[in-house]
Chain A
């Protein structure tokens, strides 16, 4: 009679495990099928000469050797992408924060201004980029006319290698409504009594911003910085559409036009993988991008961990 007493808890534990497994199953299957399987396949293919059509051959580290020692375009792509991460992302964050701070203080018409600043973020990236490049077209674009009327220099924008990346950064500023909305929500969430107490203690506006606003909204800033950096590392659509629109040719727009100045890492990956049948090599590029993204995220999170007041206190 002692046996059932021993088995009963085991059976119960077994049942519990089954229930847990059943609840976990959708997530595990989803992650396995759509994350782990493609990830491992990519890693495997990066060691092959795959073109995804005919059988792949194992080539060891050849793709990685080519990447680091022979690829003529990779460093330009890395530099351009680095520029976007280092200049465009901070500029976008600062601009969105600035706009959010202004609109947060508005007494009248706040809704209208918030909507106006947010609207560009709703435009589909392709349409927005085409429209933006047309606005800046030398000779015929309204921005060009405006600069001319003001007696200011009229750069060639998306057809000039000096101005193409700043042009893309301006496009990013214009479309930074999503970050603005998040910042706005965070700013409105800062307890007003903290400002009042600080004001009573004689804190100036910079001190209030530095000691109250910034620490309180820092988790939101960190979130925006991390997602912004990840998006910049994968920057593709706007660069390609801007090249095609400004290049203005049925066949003659080289990747990264003008002069490779907007060739991003993701675009180069796409060109070699999908245009030149070197999918194995494209996978090697993808693996490196994954590693770089992971590293950038870890560094950002580590750097920020002492910055967040809640975490610092705990």
Chain B
């Protein structure tokens, strides 16, 4: 009986070695496509094909709007059928790419991952297709071109954009004797205090503004544009301690939090109904002012909210009046993941959705987003232009000072790392702001180097 046992002892290390070899072979989904990417416009190929398209929309109204545009695509390319799958997140896209089961086309709400996708090859380089089809990228504003490409490699196209502005409740403004929306951050803080109403037990009944980070869309990237903050240096290093905008924005924010009461704001924030529900605190009249994206105009209509509201650009810092009218721009991106089985047809869909004026205008009108190309913005069919609420956001989009969070190879980790820092700061956990920001920059740069 000894022999088999000894054999077994031998076979286990052998198995381990084999597994190790396999492990070596399978490391990280080796990218075989070391050669330069080719254009795959497949101009005359009309073989019937069905492609899969993942997008992140979940709201029924928005999903229907996407389906309507896909019908237009099918009418133009009858041999391409698109199987659209809603509610797909970036994590799922990445896992599908890693697992070799990626969809042919993927769209994401999060432009923050563009850097990671372009540098890793998770999304394919569209450069050759763009060149072969002579797609004119100059119809896309520069800030938008910046967040959809990384280090000269264009692996995604913008597919509608989001800009941010200030929503204010006209009825509450009138009751508080405020004539117009604030234009400076000092005015915003003053108005917030005037508009805040408390219950008998001291808790907040109506918040004039929600300065507490994480309250709906109240995050640093939407706030710091008012001071003209630049997140990264030209060579991609974290810039939050060098650019005084960040310390100034956080100081303004904490002062207002302390004035209104951090614990009271926290309790109010937690009790606010989910952001994308019809009970949204602004739509319900419990929040007098808020920073939000242009899509809220469509939600307010869709939810049949009775709120009497106006929109305005986010106020500018007191010492930066020239920035009034600008804001934050981000948006959806669309690309062809690595492993797409029908890249020719996929490119046709990406090109259609991101550059066809009719497709962009139709979708923008239906979902209430900003169309990304200049011809679509100027199209007479863009009914959003006539909506004064929406016009604010179109103007923010066109403003030359409007800025974004630039793409980074680690999926915008510098923003993800900043939010816990801002949270700690607002709760009084950062005694020296400048030193804290310098440490954060160091950590961001160290984390970014992990991928090199």
Determine, out of A153-161, A190-198, A287-295, the stretch whose residues face the partner at the interface. A153-161
B302: chain A residues within 8 A (beta carbon)? none
CA distance A272 to B448 in the complex (A): 11
> Are A259 and B217 in contact, with the CB atoms below 8 A?
no
CA distance A251 to B214 in the complex (A): 8
| B-facing residues in A1-42 (Cβ within 8 Å) | 13, 16-17, 20, 28, 32, 36-37, 40-41
| B-facing residues in A61-88 (Cβ within 8 Å) | 62-63, 66, 70-73
Pick the contact of A276 from B267, B274, B411 — CB < 8 Å? B411
| B-facing residues in A249-268 (Cβ within 8 Å) | 249-260
Pick the contact of B275 from A56, A140, A250 — CB < 8 Å? A250
A260: chain B residues within 8 A (beta carbon)? 420, 423-424
> Are A252 and B16 in contact, with the CB atoms below 8 A?
no
Chain B contact residue count (CB 8 A cutoff): 66
CA distance A277 to B411 in the complex (A): 7
A314 at the binding interface (Cβ < 8 Å): no
Chain A contact residue count (CB 8 A cutoff): 62
- Interface readout for A269-292 with B: 1 if CB under 8 Å, 0 if not? 001101111111100000000000
Nearest-neighbour CB distance to chain A for B16, whole angstroms, equals: 6
Of all chain A residues, the one with the shortest Cβ separation from B3 is A13
Of all chain A residues, the one with the shortest Cβ separation from B123 is A53
> Are B275 and A49 in contact, with the CB atoms below 8 A?
no
> Are A159 and B270 in contact, with the CB atoms below 8 A?
yes
B218 at the binding interface (Cβ < 8 Å): yes
> Are A53 and B416 in contact, with the CB atoms below 8 A?
no
Question: A70-B443, A138-B271 known; A255 and B7 CB under 8 Å?
Answer: no
> Are A48 and B28 in contact, with the CB atoms below 8 A?
yes
Nearest-neighbour CB distance to chain B for A118, whole angstroms, equals: 30
> Are B411 and A275 in contact, with the CB atoms below 8 A?
yes
A253: chain B residues within 8 A (beta carbon)? 214
Pick the contact of B23 from A20, A37, A49, A274 — CB < 8 Å? A37
B429: chain A residues within 8 A (beta carbon)? 259
B452: chain A residues within 8 A (beta carbon)? 49
> Are A17 and B271 in contact, with the CB atoms below 8 A?
no
Nearest-neighbour CB distance to chain B for A92, whole angstroms, equals: 26
> Are A28 and B15 in contact, with the CB atoms below 8 A?
yes
Of all chain B residues, the one with the shortest Cβ separation from A28 is B15
Question: A44-B27, A53-B122 known; A138 and B267 CB under 8 Å?
Answer: yes
> Are A36 and B15 in contact, with the CB atoms below 8 A?
yes
Pick the contact of B20 from A44, A56, A62, A271 — CB < 8 Å? A44
> Are A41 and B121 in contact, with the CB atoms below 8 A?
no
Determine, out of B90-98, B238-246, B386-394, the stretch whose residues face the partner at the interface. B90-98
B272 at the binding interface (Cβ < 8 Å): yes
Nearest-neighbour CB distance to chain B for A147, whole angstroms, equals: 13
B268 at the binding interface (Cβ < 8 Å): yes
> Are B214 and A254 in contact, with the CB atoms below 8 A?
yes
> Are A51 and B446 in contact, with the CB atoms below 8 A?
no
> Are B423 and A254 in contact, with the CB atoms below 8 A?
yes
> Are A53 and B121 in contact, with the CB atoms below 8 A?
yes
> Are B450 and A63 in contact, with the CB atoms below 8 A?
yes
What are the 5 closest A-B residue pairs judged by CB atoms, nearest first?
A: A50-B28, A56-B28, A252-B214, A254-B419, A41-B23
B residues apposed to A, CB below 8 Å: 3-4, 7, 15-16, 19-20, 22-24, 26-31, 91, 94-95, 97-98, 116, 119-122, 203, 213-219, 263, 266-272, 274-276, 338, 409-411, 413, 416-417, 419-420, 423-424, 427, 429, 439-440, 443, 446-447, 450-452
> 23 A–B contact pairs at CB < 8 A?
A28-B15, A36-B19, A37-B23, A40-B19, A52-B29, A53-B121, A55-B27, A55-B31, A62-B450, A63-B450, A71-B447, A72-B440, A72-B443, A138-B267, A139-B203, A156-B263, A248-B274, A249-B214, A250-B216, A252-B214, A252-B419, A254-B416, A259-B424
A residues apposed to B, CB below 8 Å: 13, 16-17, 20, 28, 32, 36-37, 40-41, 44-45, 48-56, 62-63, 66, 70-73, 137-140, 156, 158-161, 246-260, 271-272, 274-281
